[in-house]
Structure 1
Amino acid sequence: MTGACAIDPAQAFDAYLRVRDRLPKLTGGGLALQASFMDIVGPYDLILFDAYGVLNVGETAIPGAAATVSALRSAGKSVSVVSNSAAYPKAHMMARYKKLGFDFAETEVVTSRDALLKHIAIEPERHWGVMLNPKTDLGELAALHATILTDAPEAYDLVDGFLLIGADGWTEQRQNLLEATLMRVPRPVFVGNPDLVAPRENGLSLEPGWFAHRLVEATGISPVFLGKPFPEIFDLTMERYATPISPNRVLMVGDTLHTDILGGRRVGFATALITGYGSLLGLDVDDAIEISQIAPDYIVEHI
């Protein structure tokens, strides 16, 4: 259903509120200062960008974003993408960024797919059932014993665990099959994209996190989430720097309170909420911050 834009920002925000108790806890908050992006970056050595809603909307670059990244490099800042985009291989991601005008090196792009692969590498060997569009290149996942989940009911019962990484093409029928098989025989579920929604050119698409939380409600299982706001993806990002960077010298920039801002603040980063694009577009941001009790350090319209 990624491609089918099914809900609006208000509905997405309400959905995040409903699952808040399954997300990391947080004490304290930022001052939510309104600012222009380049005016706030001075104190930070490393700038981390969410992708959707910050750098791009769907397959379209946000105007000025690539120039801002270049300006940060010229100012001596380190930059990195930290994205919950798990459905595509790293090579696909790099080709996309190049097409959109960004000059990121592969080492500067960390995705929830990376966090998922690192996590399951220490798991027992399993036959995995994978939520992914069958037309999508498996990439790094090809090394796994994996079956793409489609409309064949028997496939759901034959696997030993499930990887939810891409919701493009996912249907109610497939969701029902997944819920039914887990009710019959509970098995491990790993979620490679905790996002509920993602900004596309024509609205918000439903993402694997949306369907994972439905699984919780229908079956009582406890999935393992890999990606923002959970800490593994941030740990993986910081491990890539040979010289340790203090968390208070890192700025996480994102459009979603419950993933980018919550996750960044949880690991001690400063945070900047983007409001001109993404999951809060058109909402009263001050109200959203007050209701969610997740406050960024800064509020900026765009980078």
Structure 2
Amino acid sequence: MQNAAEIFDRYECVRQRLPLIRSQPKASSITSLLDISGEVDAFVFDAFGVLNVGEVPIPGAIDQIAQLRTRGHEVRVLTNAASFNPDATMKKFKRLGFSFYPEEIITSRSAALAAMDDRHWGVIADTADPLIDIPYQTTRLGSLEAPYGDVEGFLFLSTACWSDAQQEILERSLAHSPRRVVIANADLAAPRGDTFSIEPGYWGHQIADKFGVQVEFFGKPFQSIFQIGASSLGRIEPHKIAMCGDSLHTDILGANAMGWKSVFVTHDGLFNQLHPSELITTSGIQPDWITPRI
């Protein structure tokens, strides 16, 4: 996958594993979230493309969060970020200038860890990740083949140190002995400057395509992360919650499946070089509102 169009097409190819679409009226255009503040009690944000691009906050995002708080709205961040533990994620948002409380940030890593059981896990992670939030026995997997056969399940947190050769080792091990495969970041790809990185979801779908094994995906659009978000918002009705994201197949589809409202943010995200209306028509995934920035 070399460009945004190819990433979009790959999401379409794996639609059978994604949540089903609920019927939805045609989207309305808004200039900012303040236009719909009277219709929504809680705003839930994707991170990349909505709040920040890399290590830079998107213009106006910090101020907009502050204004929504002033108006009495609950705010949450729902991110497919599995490379960092909760402390590191908090530090990142603080470094960017956002003032979120720990309970307001919900990651796909947290959703995945909540679903794990007590077994010996082979973990695919950044070498800088201390793995201290995983309460079970772990072995960090690398280029040596033997450890893949010793573990009882696989947890995929990051592709930072992953390669085609290591993926082949993993697939050979699964072919010999099928085990649980937990993908803690359901994204297929992420922008990295002028290129795109391959994310854990890509490798997870490749495993599912090849072997037909039950790969477990966590993060948007899958429901466990949205359920954690909903629980954190107490008794707010689903139709009073709006998910704000830059991806139809993760943010908007996941919100739709939960009965939440959704805002498709188009200016800075993964598909900002593609035409929003064409993406909506091709996918059939319809947001409630469309805005360039929040």
What range describes the TM-score normalised by the shorter chain of this pair? over 0.9
Taking structure 2 as the reference length, the TM-score comes to 0.96
Alpha-carbon distance in 2 for matches of 1:78, 1:253: 13
8 A Cα contact 1:30 1:298, kept in partner: no
TM-score (norm: length of structure 1): 0.93
SS at match of 1:28: coil
Distance 2:161 2:217 in 1: 21
How far did residue 134 of structure 1 move? Answer: 1.8
The answer on 1:138 being equivalent to 2:131 is yes
Deviations 1:180-221 (A, max 9, x none): 111111101111110111233334321100110111122221
Q: State the distance in 2 between where 1:133 and 1:95 align.
A: 17
Q: Does 1:215 align with 2:211?
A: no
Which segments of 5 or more consecutive residues in structure 1 lack a partner in the other structure? 1-5
Deviates more, 1:181-190 or 1:215-224: 215-224
State the partner residue of 2:247. 256
The structure showing larger relative contact order (alpha-carbon pairs under 8 Å, at least 6 residues apart) is 1
**Per-residue deviation at 1:58?**
2.1
Q: Displacement of 1:139 after TM fit? A: 3.3
Matches within 5 A, 1:114-263: 114-120=110-116, 123=117, 125-141=118-134, 143-241=135-233, 243-263=234-254
Contact 2:40 2:240 in 1 (8 A): yes
Q: 1:50 aligns with which of 46, 49, 58?
A: 46
The reply to whether residue 275 of structure 1 matches residue 270 of structure 2 is: no
- Distance between the aligned counterparts of 2:185 and 2:217, measured in 1? 7
Residue identity over aligned pairs, in percent, reads: 38
Q: Distance in 2 between matches of 1:126 and 1:97?
A: 32
- Check the 8 A contact 2:22/2:256 in 1, yes or no: no
The question of 1:29 aligning with 2:24 is answered: yes
Contact 2:121/2:152 (CA < 8 Å) preserved in 1? Answer: yes
Find the residue that maps to 2:133 and give its secondary structure: helix
Output the CA distance in 2 between the equivalents of 1:139 and 1:300: 39
Report how many residues are paired. 293
> Within 1, Cα distance between the matches of 2:140 and 2:53?
27
RMSD after superposition: 1.3
Who is 2:288 aligned against? 297
Q: 5+ unaligned residues in a row in structure 2: which ranges?
A: none
Map Cα deviations across residues 145-199 of structure 1 (whole Å, 9 max, x no partner): 1111110100111110011111112101111111111111110111111011123
